[in-house]
Amino acid sequence: MLLELKSITKYFGGLKAINSVDMVVEEGQIVGLIGPNGAGKTTIFNCITGFLKLNEGKVLFEDKDISGKKPNDICQLGICRTFQISRPFGRMSVLDNVMVGSFLRVREFEILRARNMAIGVLEFTGLASKKDQQANSLTIADRKRLELARSLATQPKILLLDETMAGLRPSEVNEVVALLKRIVKESNIALVIIEHIMKAIMSISDKVVVLDYGKKIAEGTPSEVSKNPSVIEAYLGRE
């Protein structure tokens, strides 16, 4: 397995934001991570990537315990993430933004190599024609695509995507779904996706994990999860 969460728990002010959650992600797999607002989804991402320290449990990556490692070390190992709100380096060009990711894998003086890597990622993600634009001039959809491109430039083994489709029009959502499927098909990168657009997440995921109040309440195929009474109750409430 690529990534395994073993009974991870995180406290905030004496309350469990994550309560003994287990999860497994295999190579090349797409896992949807869903649940109501405040369920603990982003907190799990923060714990995996070292932005928060666990109180209990372990995060294993390629069978090695990475709990407690720093975010930059975890990224170097091959775990990269996006954030709910895209914050590119606004006064830098689109190309330079992606080169920042490329420099994780090349030495600081290998500027041409980093540039070529970044251009390749921009071509893959459909942003090559905008490589010379300032990042702060991009639309919301293109900013999200840029954040994805910058993450891909780090050459990850697993990508954690936090609401990459939020705020997009239906046609833009379809484009992102197609791009994510292509990423997995052509690179075998595993994806863990937090998303509230159920049509999108159910159409793309191999497996769906559902959280509610920090606990995992369901796991299975999209079809299985969508019919689970606990999931229906978490989203819609009791009858």
Spatial CA neighbour of 49 closest among 94, 5, 93, 107:
5
Domain for residue 108, yes or no?
yes
Domain for residue 115, yes or no?
yes
Same domain, 111 and 7: no
Q: What is the reported pLDDT for 239? A: 57
How far apart are the C-alpha atoms of 119 and 114, rounded to whole Å? 9
Domain for residue 201, yes or no?
yes
Same domain, 66 and 165: yes
Backbone dihedral angles phi then psi of residue 159, each to the nearest 5 degrees: -115, 130
**In the sheet that 56-61 helps form, which strands lie side by side, from edge to edge?**
15-25, 3-12, 56-61, 64-65
Same domain, 138 and 236: no
Domain for residue 6, yes or no?
yes
Same domain, 45 and 106: no
Domain end among 107, 123, 155: 155
Same domain, 199 and 211: yes
Same domain, 62 and 161: yes
Alpha-carbon distances, residue 39 vs 59, 148, 177 (angstroms): 19, 24, 24
Q: How confident is the chain (239 residues) per 10-residue block, as mean pLDDT?
A: 97 93 97 95 97 97 96 97 92 97 91 96 97 96 96 98 94 96 96 95 96 96 93 76
Same domain, 17 and 54: yes
Q: What is the reported pLDDT for 233? A: 87
Domain for residue 83, yes or no?
no
Q: What is the reported pLDDT for 98? A: 98
Same domain, 165 and 189: yes
Alpha-carbon distances, residue 33 vs 26, 51, 122, 198 (angstroms): 14, 18, 27, 11
Q: What is the reported pLDDT for 198? A: 92
Domain for residue 218, yes or no?
yes
Same domain, 216 and 151: no
Number of separate domains in the chain: 2
Q: Could you report the per-residue pLDDT of 118-133, keeping only the tens digit for each? A: 999 999 999 999 999 9
Same domain, 141 and 198: no
Q: What is the reported pLDDT for 236? A: 65
Domain for residue 34, yes or no?
yes
Same domain, 163 and 228: yes
How far apart are the C-alpha atoms of 119 and 177, rounded to whole Å? 22
Same domain, 42 and 132: no
Domain end among 126, 155, 184: 155
How far apart are the C-alpha atoms of 190 and 180, rounded to whole Å? 10
We report the CATH number of the domain holding residue 22 as 3.40.50.300
Q: What is the reported pLDDT for 109? A: 83
Neighbours of 6 (CB within 10 A): 16
How far apart are the C-alpha atoms of 239 and 218, rounded to whole Å? 19
Domain for residue 33, yes or no?
yes
Domain end among 129, 155, 181: 155
How far apart are the C-alpha atoms of 215 and 113, rounded to whole Å? 44
Record the pTM: 0.95
Is the sign of the CA dihedral 87, 37, 172, 103 positive or negative? positive
Is the sign of the CA dihedral 58, 61, 66, 72 positive or negative? negative
Expressed as residue numbers, the domain containing 93 is 88-155
How far apart are the C-alpha atoms of 178 and 215, rounded to whole Å? 31
